[in-house]
Structure 1
């Protein structure tokens, strides 16, 4: 079976809600990272077999196969196809899976995987204004009026013994680690500067420096549970962003003069309770480790998406994970979670972190609406 390798990975800064990136159409934001791959690798876009593009809320500005129109916005040849993938928050991580699987199956040799979400322009929950998500039969099956992630986060906190102070301590640490990563230049090489009417954006916008447990303690819970522990400060931020990765075979990379960064080692998907919503990363990771033949202690860094602080904390407790390796650069609580782009953004961060620190194995996992989750391991190939 052919191997799949990632030869380049780039992302935009993550823009805060109604921030600097909000004025850019998602196809144009996507085009920036697509063309950055060309710039970094020197590939001819005409040789790209397919573009797998994640996007969650495919309405309005993000409708009509946003991946295809991103390709056209980038000025790539009309012959380059694209498909838009939706596995909720894991959409662009699933896009990477699709790209790797196509390469490993020997059906394609040069595939771009990535995603976009401009939540400022297409708000979270916009689908509710145009129809009835989930459908009556599913709601009746679970005895609920909807599937609410805030409720799920509170349920999860109670189930795993996570107090509000534990969530807030974790959230303050996310800001601290993100600030340290930004200040050290850890993100500089991976970020594509974005030119806007207000200037050039080169850094993630959402970071709130000086966030403390004390300042977070002043925020009111936002869930429907009276004794809830989830609030805006220990949940991910609404954001805008895009990211892209170039997936190929080692042989094709060599022919193109490219040095692969990581090998796609293994991937898994799983599903859990859709009412709790957020627990999928735990069974997905257990499944992935069984499949990969690796143990968690073999993994040097874990990117567990910070949809809510409950997710990485419960995951670490369940897996017995080393919290020093968990989200070492901070995460979505500090800098944002642009849904359909987040999987590719996290993978881009993870790959560059592995390259910068000589980490052999990295693991990424995402919770997703409906209780599903993706989990992926990549292996470092460069010294």
Structure 2
């Protein structure tokens, strides 16, 4: 079996909701990264055999195969295919797995894997609600097989998180302490320049906008639960 290698890792900064990157079309976000990976590694884009992106809520600007749209928006060959997959929050990771599997199987030699989504433009969960005018309140209601197995209850990551917390006796305080530590580690890594090699600036934004320097456990304790 052939070996699969990660040649480079490139990304934009992670923007905040309605932040510095919120007005950029997701195809242009993806194209910016695709251009960077080709230019940094100086290879012929026509040699790419597939472009695989993860994206959930594939509606609006995320629709119509955003992987291929981003590739074409970058100005690269129309002969190169692209496909977009949805494994929810694991979508981009699955794109990487599919790319590796293609190389390891000998089917392809050079594949670009990634992911893109502008949640300011298309909020998370928007695809669940878009069909309400057509009589579908959610993706599950009306399925005989689904309702026979799960009833009318809503299944989501929020429900799953609540079940895990009860099973393993994880308190809100436990999670907030973990989240606070995660913030501090992210800020420390930013200050040390740990992400500089992988981030390509866009619109003069060079740093992830998510980590909050003023976060405290006391502030987190005042937030409403979901």
Shorter-chain TM-score: which interval? over 0.9
Alpha-carbon distance, 1:72 to partner: 0.4
Distance, in Å, in 1 between the alignment partners of 2:130 and 2:50 is: 33
Secondary structure, aligned partner of 1:9 = coil
Aligned residue in 2 for 1:221: 225
Query: In the TM superposition, what are the counterparts of 1:354-365 in structure 2 within 5 Å?
Result: none
Whole-angstrom CA distance in 2 between matches of 1:147 and 1:79: 40
* Residue 48 of structure 1: how far off its partner (Å): 0.4
Q: How much has 1:2 moved relative to structure 2?
A: 0.7
Whole-angstrom distance in 2 between the partners of 1:210 and 1:98 = 39
Q: How far does residue 80 in structure 1 lie from its aligned partner after superposition? A: 0.9
> Aligned equivalents of 2:19 and 2:149: distance in 1?
40
In structure 2, what is the equivalent of residue 202 of structure 1? 206
Which residue is 1:96 aligned to? 96
d(CA) in 2 for partners of 1:68, 1:31: 10
For 2:40, the equivalent position in structure 1 comes to 40
Q: State the distance in 1 between where 2:130 and 2:82 align.
A: 28
* 1:192 maps to which of 190, 200, 222: 200
Cα distance in 1 between the residues matched to 2:167 and 2:5: 39
Q: What is the CA deviation profile of residues 244-285 of structure 1, one whole-angstrom value per residue up to 9, with x for unaligned ones? A: xxxxxxxxxxxxxxxxxxxxxxxxxxxxxxxxxxxxxxxxxx
Unaligned runs of at least 5 residues, structure 1: 223-383
Do the aligned residues in 2 keep the contact of 1:139 with 1:146 (CA within 8 Å)?
no
Q: Determine helix, strand or coil for the equivalent of 1:194.
A: coil
Q: Distance in 2 between matches of 1:210 and 1:201?
A: 20
Matches within 5 A, 1:47-196: 47-127=47-127, 128-130=129-131, 131=136, 132-135=138-141, 136-137=143-144, 138-195=146-203
In the TM superposition, residue 87 of structure 1 has moved relative to its aligned partner by: 1.0
| SS of match in other structure, 1:80 | coil
Output the TM-score relative to the length of structure 2: 0.92
Distance 1:15 1:118, change over 3 A: same
The 3-state SS of whatever aligns with 1:215 is helix
In the other structure, the counterpart of 1:326 is none
Segment of structure 1 superposing worse, 136-145 or 170-179: 136-145
SS of residue in 1 equivalent to 2:111: strand
Task: Look up the SS of the partner of 2:169 in the other structure.
Answer: coil
Q: Give TM-score scaled by structure 1 length.
A: 0.55
Paired positions, count: 218
1:237 corresponds in structure 2 to: none
Please, which moves more after superposition, 203-212 or 167-176? 203-212
CA distance in 1, matches of 2:216, 2:179: 8
Matches of 1:57 and 1:73 in 2, distance apart? 20
